[in-house]
Structure formats: structure tokens, C-alpha cells
A and B are shown apart, each in its own frame.
Chain A
Amino acid sequence: MAAHSDFAPEVSPVERRRDAYVWRLLVTGVCFVLFGIGAGVVGVVLLPLVRIIPAARERKRERARTVMRLALRLFIGVMHRLGGLTYEFRGSERLGRPGQLIVANHPSLIDVVFLLAFVRGAGCVVKAGLWRNLLTRGAVTLAEFIPNDSTADMIVAAAGALRDGQPLIFFPEGTRTRPGQPMVFHRSGANIALRAAASVTPVYIRVEPTTLTKAEPWHRIPPRRPHFTLVVGEDLDLQPYRAAPLPVASRKLNERLQAHFEAELERPAC
């Protein structure tokens, strides 16, 4: 019976489950279901209304983005109030400016939910699979989000949206960070920034303990209640990158951007 031996050394004991573990597991499951139901209500009732009420295409796009923002804001409120997570979002009032490229790291499944819930009128580059999913296709089409499947088309569309004065949310990692592995930023974000952004604003996202990462199923929830910290950083100064041709400049900016995020995320959120 090795399990109860008094002589067993204490090697990294599994962290004790606390903060109402079973309740949080239930809440997590319920939230996935609620998200599905919410997406159904938005997709089947609200967005079709936006589509049929006569207005210019841009107007419909803005209405669709507003509907989605409020729905996601409600969803975050539900997750928070049911005790599934806690969060703080510092500096969100500086997001949503015309032509602003909002660049964020991507530790968890719901980072994009936070950004879309708090940034007014923003577009977003999202995975192309959302256009093939019946639940999400109508929403991403009407809101004119940008699919990330073809690099060239994505860059052209993203630059177009920024020149058009829309704020745009972009995750340079392309997909969620793999826990324990270094972040890898794709250069397309830096390229888009230099092409067309009026300003580039970083958002540093920390999740402690990690949850809903790339590597785990939904039911493997952390032993403690996760806390999300989203901090809006200072705008990046693009002037030093303007002189060189784009292929060279975007490589430099991308390296700088990634180093910037690594340094910032290394520190505690304080």
C-alpha cells in the first residue's frame, strides 16, 4: 500500500481542488451549452433581423457587431457571476479607435470573447472554420470578420478594413499558445500594421491558472478558479520601421513585437 506510506517523499503533490471545484465543473459545462444556445438566438433571431431591416451594408455590419458584442458581454457576465472565473480588463477604454490594430496573445479559448465583448465596432481575423460551421457562419459573414486561411487574401482584407477606419483584433500567434512552449508570432500581423494601421495597440492577456488551452478538453478545469487579466499596453511607435522596404521592416517589427510580449508576460500582472 504505497499510497499511504509515511516514507513517501513529497514530490510535487497534485494541487488540491478548491474554489468549489464541482460547481465550477458544472458551470463550465453549462457555459458551453449556454454559448451554443446564445449563438443560436443571435444567429437565428437577432442577426436575421439585422439582415432584413433595410440599411447600408456598413450599417448592417456595425449593427451585427453591436449585437455580438452585447451578447458576448452578457456571456462573460454569466461566467463571472456563476463563479466560473474572475477577470480584470485594464485600459479597455483605449480600444476601438478608428484604424486601430489590436494585437493580443492567445492563451485561452475565450480571449477573443473578452476582446469582442469590450471593444466597440471591431472586426477580427478569425479561423476560416467559422465560415463552415452552421452556428457561426451567418454571424462572421454579416459582421465582416476576416478568415485566416489564405495569407494573401487575409492581408489584403485586413489592410482594407483598417484603411476603412475599422478597429481590428488580431492574434499574431494564429492559434492558442501551447502551454509550456514559446509563443511564435506570425509576421502577417506586423505586415498588416505597417501597411494600414493608424495605431497598433498591444493587449497582454494572462490566465492564472491556465484554462481552456489548446492542449486540454473542456472538462479538465484548473484546481483553482481561473483569473483573467487583460492589460492594454502603450501604442507601438512604427516610425522606426517606415524607412525599410516592407519585407525587411515587417520582419523587424515582428521580432520586436514578439520580444515585447515575451518581456511583458514574464512579469507578474501586478
Chain B
Amino acid sequence: MQSDDEILDRIRGTLVQLFQLEAGDITPAARLYEDLEIDSIDVVDLMDEVQRHTGRKVTPEDFHSVRTVGDLVAVMQRLLHA
């Protein structure tokens, strides 16, 4: 069982690596589209990473309600414990 903080750390590492973002900008409240400029095409690349990390099949539907980094943490938790 991983804590939300551990998952957040992993997401931070992934986002920094994939999108060349500043680690400090990646907070749970940060909005993917508006604050981090991650668009709908990037989200598909992000889905692949989540799939790799969780070992679960990820579909676009899983991501429909994701708006913030916090939402992403919640999706990861759900996938890890599904």
C-alpha cells in the first residue's frame, strides 16, 4: 500500500522527465491544462506512463475526470488497488 505522498513523488518524477516541468510547480492543486500546459495529447502519453507504473490497462475513460495532479494521484491509487 503506497501513500498518496509516495505516489505524488512518482508522478512528480514522471512529469519532470516527460514534460521538462519544474518539480516545485507540481502540487496536488496544480491543474494539468491551465497550470502545467499538459494538453489532451500529452494526457495520452501520461496514460502510458501510468500503465507502466501500475501494470494495469488504462483507458481514456479513466482519465476523463482528471483535472489536477491530485486527481491523478487518486486515479493511480484506484488503479493500484483495483
Residue ranges of A at the interface with B (Cβ–Cβ < 8 Å) = 150-153, 155-156, 186-188, 191, 245-248, 250
Check if A191 sits within 8 Å of B44, measured CB to CB: yes
Q: Residues of A contacting B40 with CB < 8 Å? A: 151-152
Q: Are A152 and B63 in contact (CB under 8 A)?
A: yes
Choose among B20, B42, B44, B59 the residue with the greatest number of A CB atoms under 10 Å from its CB: B44
11 sample A-B contacts, Cβ–Cβ < 8 Å, listed by A number: A150-B60, A151-B41, A151-B43, A152-B43, A156-B44, A191-B41, A191-B44, A245-B45, A246-B45, A248-B18, A248-B20
Q: Is the CB of B45 within 8 A of A156?
A: no
The binding surface of chain A is classed by DSSP as helix
Q: Known contacts A152-B47, A187-B41, A191-B44; can you find 14 more A-B pairs with CB under 8 A?
A: A151-B44, A152-B43, A152-B60, A152-B63, A153-B60, A156-B44, A156-B59, A186-B41, A188-B41, A191-B45, A245-B45, A246-B48, A248-B18, A250-B41
| Chain B residues closer than 8 Å to A246, beta-carbon distance | 18, 45, 48
Q: Give Cα A250–Cα B43 distance, bound, in whole angstroms.
A: 13
| Residue total for B at the interface (Cβ-Cβ under 8 A) | 15
Query: Chain B residues near A156 (CB, 8 Å)?
Result: 44, 59-60
Determine the distance from Cα of A187 to Cα of B40 in the docked complex, in whole angstroms.
10
B48 and chain A: residue at smallest CB distance: A246
What is the bound-complex CA distance between A153 and B63, given in angstroms? 11
Instruction: Confirm or deny: B33 has a beta carbon within 8 angstroms of a beta carbon on chain A.
Output: no
Roughly how many angstroms separate A155 CA and B63 CA in the complex, as a whole number?
A: 14
Q: How far is the CA of A248 from the CA of B20 in the complex (A)?
A: 8
* Chain B hits for A248, CB < 8 A: 18-20
Proximity string of chain B (32-44) to chain A, C-beta cutoff 8 Å, 1 when within and 0 when not:
0000000011111
In the bound complex, CA of A159 to CA of B59 (Å): 14
